[in-house]
């Protein structure tokens, strides 16, 4: 590695290490995060610079920056962090790091390869409906919907949930500052060790998976289920039998 | 045919026969399934790797694999089965065959040229509304909607349903494993010999047609009708007069 | 004009006159109908081969055929009719002429340059809500919505409706065969000489305008208003003050 | 500047000054307004030629014309006004200036760099719900929704609203002519000096920001919040705690 990493006084890397974000491979994390975020924009998940996506690539964590239009991102917008030292290897001068970073790291620490954060309106509505109808401590629970089979049984367990399994997604309360969610997110992960997602009340959802394919598939499946659940409520149909 | 089909111990073909999936023609099944699935993704029919599509091409059955992102499929992802022997002529190593395969075959056995399986939320909601309002044995029924004219009268019958004909789509109960739907799907096909579609409760729909054009058109028309029917319920409007 | 028009025994032109549909100009009717229909497909107006579009170009009427996937149309799919003789100058062998043709001609006879027919679900729902809430003879009526200003005052009248004008769109009953709508469409046009659109109960809408730009703009404005009106009903908000 | 600005008798510039709208830079206002409006069309904000967008570029104001299909705009369609003299430097012969112009200028006078006007159905519905439930003088108010953090605290104030801040958007009554909104828009701006948006009853919204990025982000965030608020009403969920 011919590049030198210049460190500033506060320990963050300066804007060299551009080789980390240049690749011809569309599946390289620096490129992949851009195409994923553009797709997520059309799904309404990252409207108004909301939401974010992060990919672990060996010991490097690639993270979309804060406050950028997610459908217009380019590889040069990307932050790259060393997973072991938690120091930035690349840090674009014009951007702020994502406040989601400690939440993404919580997922990577538990073995995830990709973590997606959306502001999906269906996720937000589901957190409000659960609070009103089942109380503040309740999880979102639904059963006997085929798409549940898109969610894995749990870390280290083989295969996905079955049609007759009940899907349970924990919900944590929102905080004034996104990084302050980290503690309760980690607690929810510990209390619900099989979950690959945590809803955040009045905010959205964090979904992670072993790799990009799994995280995206699980995020899509959950969003499908949340939208269905909201429509079911409008029609007076119960979530569980 | 110069290619040799290598058979593995369990009778499945190895990954040769690539000539079956290479064509410059965008309407060749290996290409066509990819463009169809990409379109179906934007319609919300195959979210989270759900759903599937299969085309019969002479004695060859082309089938989208299980568990792939349907909007990103490539011809090389395709399974090809011999319709007579039910053996795979081509089987991509990296994928699992679709659990929908026996259901697609049930349609092809009855003369279909294409079969589409979606997880459309409108289809799922309609199965729930029918169960609640008309009972578990009821079909979805609607009448006097112009789009009904997009559905053929029945196999071997000339022309499509008329505006004053009642559209009836049978509904079967979901099972833990998709392949276990085959028996009840075939029973529904026998009990309702004129239908080109069967709804699966809490799951989605199977739609087939004489060819790709007809299967897609019928699937679109039905999905339009299901969405309309759900909106009608929200507004307190009855499905039949 | 070097082409010869071969006439068949029943008076229809054979498939020559291809020069009528070949043009480099994207705004030539044969090209324009294709791009318009592809856009209308994404708006949900022509799902399942439903709906249609026709443009008058001097004495030539260009008409999208029946039963084709509207988002995939090509100039070679187009029918061309002589406005004066009502004979086809070009008639693709593989397609059937649109059953909407006499309805399009009714609009062209009254001076329209373009006529659009959609199966929009919002239009269908509005016809059902008007029937239930205001009776079978009622028009759709709404007032004090800014988008009403997208609709012209009437043929031969200068300018568009104002914000305080009440928008009135007549509704005719659907018939078993689309061409049988012609009589009641013409009656509605005579009874409501200022209208540029007629709703068809449980079916959709016909919208026309002096040219493509106006017909499309009016069709979009009306569809916006119908969707808003349906949402207003769901929320218990009245259409008129 | 080699071009000469020919002035017509009534003080408007003739159609020279084309250099003002020719640039290779996709972020040049003449290009940027076109790509923005095409995106806004897909979001349902500028249906039927409704809505508009304007960018301040130094002392030049770029404005999308009235009555054009917003998804098809080209740089040559653009009006350019001198901010100081309020005279048109470029005025396309075939178009009418936007009736929104004085409203855009009201925003630019208060320091905005970009102003977006949409006819979003969610905005319109919110104005109707506020009137019915909270009275004609009420603002739209919502709290404890994460996306509120996408809206700045106010002109000259550092940073954005927090999660526990209440978002308040003033609503003005619609008028017969768009330009007549200017007075009440300016009054609302004075009464609510921190707002970056004003809703117009039964019409839509004006959103502005320091630059294009901020105006677009704020407009998206607000539209997300309005859609969520409408869905909350349908589900019986309150906007404030």
Catalytic residue, candidates D71, D146, D190, D231: D146
CA distance C72 to B222: 20
How does residue C16 score in pLDDT terms, banded at 50, 70 and 90?
confident
Residue pair D22/D75 in contact (Cβ under 8 Å)? The answer is yes
Name which of D150, B197, B153, C48 is nearest A46 in CA terms: D150
Q: At what angle do helices C29-42 and C212-234 cross, to 10 degrees?
A: 10
What pTM was computed for the model? 0.94
Which chains touch D (3+ CB pairs under 8 A)? A, C
CA distance C161 to B67: 53
Q: What is the DSSP letter of B83?
A: T
Residues 46-75 of D with CB under 8 A from C: 47-50, 69
CA distance B182 to B174: 11
- Mean per-residue pLDDT, A34-52: 97
Query: Dihedral through CA B200, CA B206, CA B207, CA B213, nearest 10?
Result: 150
pLDDT of the residue at A16: 75
Kindly provide the ipTM of the predicted complex, given to two decimals: 0.93
Contact across the interface for D224 and A119, Cβ inside 8 Å: yes
- Mean per-residue pLDDT, C164-178: 97
Name which of C82, C88, C46 is nearest C67 in CA terms: C46
Q: Does C94 touch chain B (CB under 8 A)?
A: no
Contact across the interface for A49 and D150, Cβ inside 8 Å: yes
Half-sphere exposure of C144 (CA within 13 A, CB side): 14
Q: Does D182 touch chain C (CB under 8 A)?
A: no
Label residue C158 exposed, middle or buried (CB < 10 Å: 0-12, 13-18, 19+): exposed
**Res D114 pLDDT > 80:** yes
Kindly provide the residue ranges of all beta strands, DSSP E only, lying in D33-188, ordered along the sequence: 52-57, 60-63, 79-82, 88-90, 114-118, 140-142, 167-169, 171-172
Q: What is the DSSP letter of D28?
A: S
* Contact residues for D54 (Cβ-Cβ < 8 A; gap 6+): D33, D61, D62, D63, D64, D98, D100, D101, D104, D108, D114, D115
CA-based nearest residue in chain B for residue A226: B121
* Contact residues for C155 (Cβ-Cβ < 8 A; gap 6+): C110, C111, C193, C194, C196
- Mean per-residue pLDDT, A1-16: 42
Residue pair A196/A208 in contact (Cβ under 8 Å)? The answer is yes
- Mean per-residue pLDDT, D199-218: 98
Average pLDDT, chain A: 93
Residues from chain B that touch A220, judged by Cβ atoms under 8 A, are: 47-48
CA distance A204 to A106: 17
Q: Does C15 touch chain B (CB under 8 A)?
A: no
pLDDT digits (tens, 9 = 90+) for B127-154: 999 999 999 999 999 999 999 999 999 9
pLDDT of the residue at A14: 52
- Cα distance from C48 to chain B (closest Cα, Å)? 4
Task: Supply the Cα-derived Rg of chain B in whole angstroms.
Answer: 18
pLDDT of the residue at D230: 98
Size of interface A-D (CB pairs under 8 A): 65
CA distance B132 to A1: 65
CA distance A15 to A20: 11
Long-range contacts of D126-131 (CB under 8 A, 24+ apart): D126/D199, D126/D226, D126/D229, D126/D230, D127/D171, D127/D199, D127/D200, D127/D201, D127/D202, D127/D203, D128/C232, D128/C235, D128/C237, D128/D201, D128/D202, D129/C235, D129/C237, D129/D229, D129/D230, D129/D233, D130/D171, D131/D171, D131/D201
CA distance D10 to A187: 71
**Res C11 pLDDT > 80:** no
pLDDT digits (tens, 9 = 90+) for A155-214: 999 999 999 999 999 999 999 999 999 999 999 999 999 999 999 999 999 999 999 999
Half-sphere exposure of C52 (CA within 13 A, CB side): 24
What spatial distance separates the first Cα and last Cα of chain D, rounded to whole Å? 58
Which chains touch C (3+ CB pairs under 8 A)? B, D
CA distance D101 to A30: 41
pLDDT of the residue at C241: 86
Residues from chain B that touch A150, judged by Cβ atoms under 8 A, are: 48-50
pLDDT digits (tens, 9 = 90+) for B17-49: 999 999 999 999 999 999 999 999 999 999 999
Q: Does C217 touch chain D (CB under 8 A)?
A: yes
CA distance D9 to A133: 69
Of the two residues D14 and D179, the one the predictor is more confident about is D179
Q: Does B150 touch chain C (CB under 8 A)?
A: yes
pLDDT digits (tens, 9 = 90+) for D160-181: 999 999 999 999 999 999 999 9
Residue pair A125/A108 in contact (Cβ under 8 Å)? The answer is no
Catalytic residue, candidates C24, C131, C144, C146: C146
pLDDT of the residue at C14: 52
**Res B66 pLDDT > 60:** yes
* Contact residues for C190 (Cβ-Cβ < 8 A; gap 6+): none
Percent of chain A with pLDDT over 90: 92
């Amino acid at each position: 590695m011919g590049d030198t990493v210049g460190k500033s006084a506060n320990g963050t890397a300066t804007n060299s290490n551009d080789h980390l974000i240049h690749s011809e491979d569309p599946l390289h994390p620096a490129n992949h995060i851009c195409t994923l975020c553009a797709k997520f924009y059309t799904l309404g998940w990252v409207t108004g610079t909301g939401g974010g996506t992060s990919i672990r690539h060996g010991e490097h964590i690639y993270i979309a920056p804060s406050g950028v239009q997610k459908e217009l991102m380019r590889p040069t917008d990307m932050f790259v962090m060393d997973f072991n030292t938690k120091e930035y290897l690349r840090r674009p001068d014009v951007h702020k790091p994502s406040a989601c970073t400690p939440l993404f790291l919580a997922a990577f620490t538990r073995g995830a390869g990709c973590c997606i954060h959306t502001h999906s309106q269906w996720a937000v509505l589901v957190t409000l409906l659960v609070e009103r109808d089942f109380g503040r401590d309740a999880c979102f629970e639904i059963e006997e919907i085929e798409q549940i089979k898109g969610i894995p049984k749990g870390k280290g367990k083989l295969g996905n949930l079955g049609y007759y399994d009940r899907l349970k997604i924990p919900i944590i309360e929102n905080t004034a500052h996104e990084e302050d969610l980290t503690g309760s997110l980690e607690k929810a992960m510990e209390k619900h060790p099989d979950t690959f997602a945590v809803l955040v009340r009045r905010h959205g959802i964090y979904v992670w998976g072993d790799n990009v394919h799994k995280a995206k598939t699980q995020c899509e499946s959950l969003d499908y289920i949340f939208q269905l659940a909201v429509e079911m409520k409008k029609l007076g149909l119960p979530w569980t039998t």
